[in-house]
Amino acid sequence: MAHAKRRWNGLTTGAVALLLVLGGVTACSAGDAPAGQNTSAAPNAAATSTPTPSATPTPPPVVTANHVGETSDQALAELTEQGLLVSFADTSGQALTSQQGWSVVGQDPPAGASVPEGSWVKLILRAPVVTASHVGETSDQAAAELTQQGLLVLFADTSGQALASQPGWSVVGQDPPAGTSLRAGSSVKLILSPPAPPPPPAPPAPAPADSGSDSGSGSSSGSEQAVPAGGPTAKCNDGTLSYSAHHQGTCSHHGGVAVWYK
């Protein structure tokens, strides 16, 4: 009897333990979500949030190139392509409209300046130069005139050999020739010749020779003096003038020769 009672108590305890285990599994199934599943009740952020507008990027600055020596229309095209605005002025600062074919001799801001897109660049312009004739001038005179016109000057001798500046030499040719239209900054070659040597000094005038006596007439001798062509040849002792072509017999009837003229 006691043995049956202990067996019953063991079965009862096992049944209670089994019920407790089954109850825990059921509670876990009903109350807990499967592992890895998102159980948040928050709405979808991607579907409900308002997008933030992106800021407009600032364009990079423009670094100005060197346009000196270009024509105005060439420089204008390059600056416009870079997004810059262009104005024009002459060398005195007077504002100009676009002058096609004029030479750029300066710019503001200078080359290498970093400026925002849309900035102004002023181009300083000079009209084309029409070369004058410098043949017959000295090298330094011609070089000064060409430099003042904004042109570069080269020198060469008559064989074409390059020369350094030769002050005082004569300009005997130029390339390009007179009347050529050039941009400022163009080169003009002057053909030079050394100055001619000074003429040799004139020989000294011979001293006048004394005339001898009149051998034909026995008249007195006189000194010889030069007279203009066609004048008398002698002056007689009595004061008369003789136009004789020869010394012999001159002033024979007038007391002899006082002065020979030639």
Domain assignment of residue 80, yes or no? yes
Q: Are residues 135 and 189 in the same domain?
A: yes
DSSP 123-158: EEEEPPEEPPP-TTSBHHHHHHHHHHTT-EEEEEET
Rounded Cα distance between 198 and 145, Å, is: 27
Give the residue from 71, 119, 131 showing the smallest Cα distance to 99.
Answer: 71
Question: How do the residues of the chain divide into helix, strand and coil, expressed in percent and rounded to 5?
Answer: 20, 25, 55
- What's phi and psi for 55, nearest 5 deg? -75, 145
Asked whether residue 134 falls in the same domain as residue 189, the answer is yes
Residue 218 lies in a domain: yes
Which of 150, 166, 193 lies at the terminal end of a domain, its last residue?
193
139 in the same domain as 188: yes
Co-location of 114 and 139 in the same domain: no
pLDDT of residue 44: 53
Q: Is 126 left (phi over 0), alpha (psi -120 to 50) or beta?
A: beta
The CATH number of the domain holding residue 178 is: 3.30.10.20
Residue 17's pLDDT is 56
CA distance 137 to 166: 12
Residues 6+ apart with CB under 8 A from 186: 129, 151, 152
pLDDT of residue 238: 86
Which pLDDT belongs to residue 111?
Answer: 95
Together in a domain, 135 and 122: no
**C-alpha angle 162/165/166, rounded to 5°?**
100
> Is 109 within a domain?
yes
**216 shares a domain with 182:** no
What is the reported pLDDT for 31? 44
Q: Is the pTM of this model over 0.75?
A: no
| pLDDT at residue 225, as a whole number | 55
**Residues 121 and 133 placed together within one structural domain of the fold:** no
What CA–CA distance (Å, rounded) separates 4 from 103? 128
Tally of structural domains, the chain: 3
Residue 167: φ, ψ to 5°: -60, 135
> How many angstroms separate the Cα of 94 from the Cα of each of 103, 124, 196?
15, 9, 47
The model's pLDDT over 92-118, given as tens digits with 9 standing for 90+, comes to 999 998 888 899 999 999 999 999 999
Question: What's the Cα-to-Cα distance from 44 to each of 39, 53, 189, rounded to whole Å?
Answer: 13, 20, 83
**Residue 241 confidence (pLDDT):** 83
Examine the domain organization and report whether 79 and 120 are in the same domain: yes
Instruction: Specify the amino acid at residue 239.
Output: G
**Residue stretches of the chain with pLDDT short of 70:** 1-51, 53-55, 207-230, 262
| Residue 36 located in a structural domain | no
| Cα–Cα distance measured from residue 220 to residue 233, given in angstroms and rounded to the nearest whole number | 15
Distance CA 168, CA 197 (A): 12
Q: Are residues 220 and 240 in the same domain?
A: yes
Domain shared by 218 and 254, yes or no: yes
In a domain, 89, yes or no: yes
Q: How many CB atoms lie within 10 A of CB 200?
A: 6
Among residues 70, 95, 126, the one where a domain terminates is 126
Asked if residue 34 belongs to a domain, the reply is no
- The reply to whether 202 falls in a domain is no
Range of the domain at 252: 210-262
Provide the residue type at 221 as one letter.
Answer: S
Class of residue 260 by CB neighbours under 10 A (exposed 0-12, middle 13-18, buried 19+)? buried
Q: Please report which residue ranges of 32-97 form alpha helices under DSSP H.
A: 45-48, 72-81
The amino acid sitting at 231 is G
Q: 88 and 138, same structural domain?
A: no
Indicate whether 121 and 139 sit together in one domain.
no
Which of 98, 126, 154 terminates a domain? The answer is 126
156 domain residue, yes or no: yes
